[in-house]
């Protein structure tokens, strides 16, 4: 089916030029980087001097047109999860020239694992890819640290333990990801974990300031749609 679509697409390109063709795609590509890529491919087609040049341009077209979620993304390794856990600890931000796409390294790494083509995929395709990846691997995203009281606990809980609730904000606001799954490590959801932590803080004589911080995290989670397991 895709071969047929691509064949028809190439006939359209032959008559109208790739820029005109791309501008009429039903896929919602609005980014400046996407437009630059369209113009680059258009230039490649117009200046092609050999079959190899044409083949390269056609590969670029196929990638641009059919850039969508699928099962071709390689499964992440345990070391990939550990890198995101480390990013939450360091709270590292991306260089200024990448700030158009994301703010923190952990978001960049997550999109890379979900096989997102930054600057080429539309917002809709990016969201679909990340959602598909998250549904497949969310219970496998684990962190383990001496500063974390849930051994091999979920990435979400680790983010809270490292005072990085912004991570959960990004997952929900940017990609509408599920934050209510039960963590296999302790059988608890993210909100359960926060409720447990607040009770622990109250019981061990922690300062009211610290308790207030976790209460704020809890209110924010509930606003994002977080629910207890029971």
CB 161 within 8 A of CB 142: no
Instruction: Look at residue 160 in the predicted model and tell me its pLDDT.
Output: 94
CB 150 within 8 A of CB 107: no
Average pLDDT value for the chain: 80
pLDDT tens, position by position, 61-100: 655 554 444 445 788 999 999 999 999 999 999 888 777 8
Instruction: Say whether pLDDT at 166 is over 70.
Output: yes
Instruction: Look at residue 73 in the predicted model and tell me its pLDDT.
Output: 77
What is the mean pLDDT of the segment spanning 199-222? 93
Instruction: Look at residue 205 in the predicted model and tell me its pLDDT.
Output: 86
Q: Which residue has the higher pLDDT, 99 or 49?
A: 99
Instruction: Look at residue 74 in the predicted model and tell me its pLDDT.
Output: 84
Report which DSSP code applies to 70. -
CB 142 within 8 A of CB 155: yes
User: pTM higher than 0.75 for the full model?
Assistant: no
What is the mean pLDDT of the segment spanning 6-18? 46
Query: In b/e form, how buried is each residue of 23-47, taking b as 16+ CB within 10 angstroms?
Result: eeeeeebebeebeebbeebbebbee
């Amino acid at each position: 089916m895709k071969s047929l679509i691509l064949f028809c697409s190439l006939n359209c390109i032959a008559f109208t030029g790739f820029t005109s063709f791309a501008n009429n795609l039903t896929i919602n590509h609005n980014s400046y980087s996407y437009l630059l890529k369209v113009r680059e491919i258009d230039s490649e087609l117009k200046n092609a001097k050999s079959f190899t040049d044409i083949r390269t341009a056609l590969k670029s077209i196929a990638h641009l047109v059919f850039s969508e979620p699928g099962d071709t993304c390689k499964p992440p390794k345990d070391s990939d999860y550990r890198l995101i856990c480390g990013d939450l600890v360091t709270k590292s931000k991306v260089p200024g020239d990448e700030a158009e796409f994301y703010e923190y390294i952990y978001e960049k790494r997550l999109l890379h694992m979900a096989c997102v083509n930054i600057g080429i995929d539309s917002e809709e395709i990016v969201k679909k890819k990340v959602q598909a990846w998250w549904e497949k691997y969310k219970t496998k995203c684990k962190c383990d640290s001496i500063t974390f009281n849930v051994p091999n606990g979920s990435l979400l809980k680790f983010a809270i333990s490292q005072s990085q609730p912004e991570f959960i904000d990004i997952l929900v606001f940017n990609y509408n990801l599920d934050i209510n799954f039960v963590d296999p490590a302790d059988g608890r959801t993210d909100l359960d974990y926060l409720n447990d932590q607040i009770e622990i803080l109250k019981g061990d004589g922690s300062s009211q300031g610290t308790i207030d911080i976790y209460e704020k995290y809890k209110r924010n989670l509930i606003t994002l749609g977080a629910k207890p397991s029971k």
